[in-house]
Chains A and B, each alone.
Chain A
Amino acid sequence: MSDTASSRAVGAGRVLVVVYAILAIAATARSVLQIAREFDEAPVAYSLSALAGVVYLVATVALVGKGRTWYRVAWVAIVFELIGVLTVGTLSLVEPQLFQHASVWSVYGQGYLFIPLVLPVLGILWLRSHRPAAGES
């Protein structure tokens, strides 16, 4: 690895980046369609899907980016996702009328094979073990 490369998008971390990228594309594309087609039916669920999609995009870029700033951005994005999937997942079970239309995070990401629930946990473990080196700006 050259010294210009990111300290995080290496080895298993690259698999994480790829899974994030696929989820980001899937969630964003789907929410753009939903908002364009039937936003009035479920503004809350569809807005949340769009927000989730954007946060997945940010997380993907932040995992690839190098240096301390991207490291912090990655933390914020991934923790936000974990809170989002837990909150919306719980609400969609307790108060189903709020989320009659599918969002990425409904029932803890059931529609996406629970990947939205597993991914932030893996992301946090990865970030913990790959802090930026002391010299990295």
Chain B
Amino acid sequence: MNEENIEKLAHEWITAPADKIDIESEYFCQTRDVFEARNNRTPETLIKGGIDKSLAYIIYAMSGELGNNSFDHNLGNWPDIPGAFFAFDYDGKNGCLIIADRGIGVLNSLRKALPNLKDDKEALEIAFTKKISSRVLENRGNGLKFIKSNVLEKNLFLQFISGKAQVSLNHEMKLSETENPIKGCLAILKF
């Protein structure tokens, strides 16, 4: 499936009513184990497609952080459908990797640790730039900073949407309101 189609499918998956979700889809990972098993094939598939080996493992590590975040921050708290949408495409020149979840989103997740957060925008800014974790019992949570650092260093592009806010990241980070708010998180990585 090409880039445009997986983006469309991800948007449909994250915005559809819960009873319309195709949980049989090959892109749906209901548990972390399913996500891990599918993601585990990512670097070899990309390398076979001709991508630089070092970049393939960086993309795999970023994908691992994004997908595991979905499960780390939503376990036991999924509003409707538990799990993550995961798909990628590489045509030998350009690639796109998408991870989406219908979870509680960055704002609700961070509010457990920072109850005074005012909106989605502030939550995303903190998630991408400040030392903090929303899992109250863990003073950790560096996945999005790791992703930001790799996007900047490898000249990649990331669009990350949660609630009403979005981050666009390549050589700089732009924070804005999105026209299409979502519940949960949607990450689109282009390489």
The finding on whether chains A and B are genuine partners in a shared complex, rather than unrelated, reads no
Chain B residues close to A by CB (< 8 Å): none
Chain A residues in contact with chain B, CB under 8 A?
Answer: none
